[in-house]
């Protein structure tokens, strides 16, 4: 098995543009992770209010919610590389704004929220463009390996980002960390310009009306209960049970840590994702994927419950590591199902809907967690979240029988998008 994996890795590394794409995305995710740590710490340190963390998530989610559907349409109509470079450029600008805010020692947290609104708008284009671009770089027979390899490398940045972000903040304050973020985004833009797209499909049919184009992705997902069940399970499990937004509170008040400790907590979840990602890159999963998905989300909920009740730093890190490992399995299954079943000329719109689910679970989940912590305290809010996740797993196992029974990724076979557009019309 190892020799086969080595051969696959070699072929992928030899694929023109693949390494440049991976490095560009690595730098961008690295910058996002560093910024997430610094913004959360700054906001809570300035306000000491859990609701302030809720608004951090809400400020990013609302513009994503409004722009994701138009973004998917534009990604299917225009150069995906250009759109991605522009979105990274706007995120670099946001980092520059936060840098100036910190350098001037401004204390109005509303200015941070304003920058995050712009940042969330840019991310509406980043996610669908990234997901839609990978199948244009590698051939279909290498796509599964490329997804797994891409996930592993991305997890490296999500492990290193929080650790280095906390360290940079302790070393040079917000100015040093935001400067690093801006530089990483710019370097990613330069690398992305060198990436060819030899497997790009035909451009979208522009005879359809705007409303038809916007809703085609929704219709496509609704036509597949397996995909709808998968992404909605992930949505509600993380929306109701995620604890990432509560980490600054736990670091401050439960575990009594500094910014470096917060970085370790965030990195623990990413380390679990990385370990499972490495395993999946060597042994890609393609049997019993439905039940595996439910099992993984159930473990995610249990691990979050352990974290909620823990007052020991090592146990909290272990619980987050297990939660990250389980989350990686669900992310891998969802990504593979969506990519294998979607025609290239619809990937922007379908991935926009997928990113809407992901954004809802992450940013809106942060708002839910912060609001709950403000009303009932951080520990009861985290406990309630873990219990709700387990409830979602049980409900979805009953409501999505087809997802529970799916065996291989190939079970989500493609459907011609034109037929969907005709049904819409």
Span 299-303, average pLDDT: 92
Residue with tokens 């520059």: 96
**pTM of the predicted model over 0.85:** no
SS (H, E, C) the chain: CHHHHHHHHHHHHHCCCHHHHHHHHHHHHHHHHHHHHHHHHHHHHHHCCHHHHHHHHHHHHHHHHHHHHHHHHHHHHCCHHHHHHHHHHHHHHHHHHHHHHHHCCCCCHHHHHHHHHHHHHHHHHHHHHHHHHHHHHCCHHHHHHHHHHHHHHHHHHHHHHHHHHHHHHHHHHHHHHHHHHHHHHHHHHHHHCCCCCCCCCCCCCCCCCHHHHHHHHHHHHHCCHHHHHHHHHHHHHHHHHCCHHHHHHHHHHHCCCCHHHHHHHHHHHHHHHHHHHHHHHHCCCCCCHHHHHHHHHHHHHHHHHHHHHCCCHHHHHHHHHHHHHHHHHHHHHHHHHHHHHCCHHHHHHHHHHHHHHHHHHHHHHHHHHHHHHHHHCHHHHHHHHHHHHHHHHHHHHHHCHHHHHCCCHHHCCCCCHHHHHHHHC
pLDDT digits over 375-385, tens only? 888 888 888 88
395 or 163, higher pLDDT: 395
pLDDT range class, residue 106, cuts 50, 70, 90? confident
Query: Does a structural domain hold residue 332?
Result: yes
Query: Does a structural domain hold residue 1?
Result: no
Query: Does a structural domain hold residue 9?
Result: no
pLDDT digits over 266-283, tens only? 788 878 888 888 888 777
Query: Does a structural domain hold residue 419?
Result: yes
Residue 425 in this model has a pLDDT that exceeds 50: no
Query: Does a structural domain hold residue 8?
Result: no
Query: Does a structural domain hold residue 365?
Result: yes
Span 317-325, average pLDDT: 92
Residue 7 in this model has a pLDDT that exceeds 70: no
pLDDT digits over 151-199, tens only? 777 777 767 777 788 888 888 888 899 999 999 999 999 999 888 877 7
pLDDT range class, residue 12, cuts 50, 70, 90? low
Q: Which domain holds residue 185?
A: 15-197+208-424
pLDDT range class, residue 248, cuts 50, 70, 90? confident
293 or 207, higher pLDDT: 293
Question: For the chain, what is the domain count?
Answer: 1
Span 315-334, average pLDDT: 88
Cβ 30 vs Cβ 157: under 8 Å: yes
Query: Does a structural domain hold residue 26?
Result: yes
Average pLDDT along the chain: 80
Our measurement of the distance from residue 63's CA atom to the centroid of its chain's CA atoms, rounded to an integer in Å, reads: 16
- Nearest CA to 310 out of 386, 376, 364 is that of 386
pLDDT of 254 reads 84
Query: Does a structural domain hold residue 335?
Result: yes
pLDDT of 306 reads 93
The CATH number for 384's domain is: 1.20.1250.20
pLDDT of 208 reads 61
CA 6 to CA 12: how far, in whole Å?
A: 10
pLDDT range class, residue 219, cuts 50, 70, 90? confident
pLDDT range class, residue 1, cuts 50, 70, 90? very low
């Amino acid at each position: 098995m190892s020799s086969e994996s080595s051969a696959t890795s070699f072929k992928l590394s030899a694929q023109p543009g693949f390494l440049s794409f991976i490095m560009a995305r690595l730098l961008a995710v690295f910058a996002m992770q560093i910024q997430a740590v610094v913004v959360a710490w700054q906001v809570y340190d300035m306000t000491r209010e859990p609701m302030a963390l809720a608004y951090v998530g809400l400020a990013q989610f609302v513009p994503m919610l409004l722009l994701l559907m138009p973004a998917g349409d534009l990604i299917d109509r225009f150069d995906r590389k250009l759109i991605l470079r522009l979105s990274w450029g706007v995120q670099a600008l946001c980092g520059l704004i936060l840098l100036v805010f910190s350098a001037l020692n401004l204390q109005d947290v509303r200015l941070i929220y304003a920058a995050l609104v712009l940042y969330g708008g840019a991310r509406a284009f980043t996610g669908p463009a990234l997901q839609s671009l990978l199948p244009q770089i590698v051939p279909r027979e290498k796509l599964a390996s490329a997804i797994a390899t891409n996930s592993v490398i991305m997890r490296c940045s999500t492990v290193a980002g929080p650790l280095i972000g906390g360290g940079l903040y302790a070393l040079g304050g917000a100015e040093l960390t935001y400067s690093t973020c801006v530089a990483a985004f710019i370097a990613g833009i330069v690398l992305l310009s060198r990436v060819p797209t030899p497997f790009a499909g035909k451009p979208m049919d522009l005879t359809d009306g705007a409303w038809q184009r916007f809703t085609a992705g929704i219709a496509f997902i609704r036509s597949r209960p397996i995909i709808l069940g998968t992404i909605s399970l992930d949505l509600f499990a993380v929306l109701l049970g995620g604890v990432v937004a509560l980490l600054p509170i736990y670091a401050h008040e439960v575990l009594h840590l500094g910014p470096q400790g917060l970085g370790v907590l965030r990195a623990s979840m990413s380390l679990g994702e990385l370990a499972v990602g490495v395993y999946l890159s060597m042994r890609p999963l393609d049997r019993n994927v439905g039940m595996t998905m439910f099992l993984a989300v159930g473990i995610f909920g249990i691990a979050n419950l352990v974290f909620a009740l823990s007052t020991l730093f090592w146990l909290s890190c272990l619980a987050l590591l297990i939660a990250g490992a389980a989350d990686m399995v669900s992310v891998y299954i969802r990504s593979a199902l969506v990519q294998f079943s979607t025609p290239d000329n619809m990937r922007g719109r379908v991935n926009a809907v997928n990113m809407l689910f992901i954004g809802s679970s992450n940013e809106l989940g942060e708002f839910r967690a912060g609001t709950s912590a403000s009303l009932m305290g951080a520990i009861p809010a985290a406990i309630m979240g873990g219990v709700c996740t387990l409830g979602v797993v049980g409900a979805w196992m009953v409501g999505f029988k087809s997802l529970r029974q799916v065996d291989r990724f190939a079970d989500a076979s493609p459907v011609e998008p034109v037929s969907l557009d005709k049904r819409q019309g």
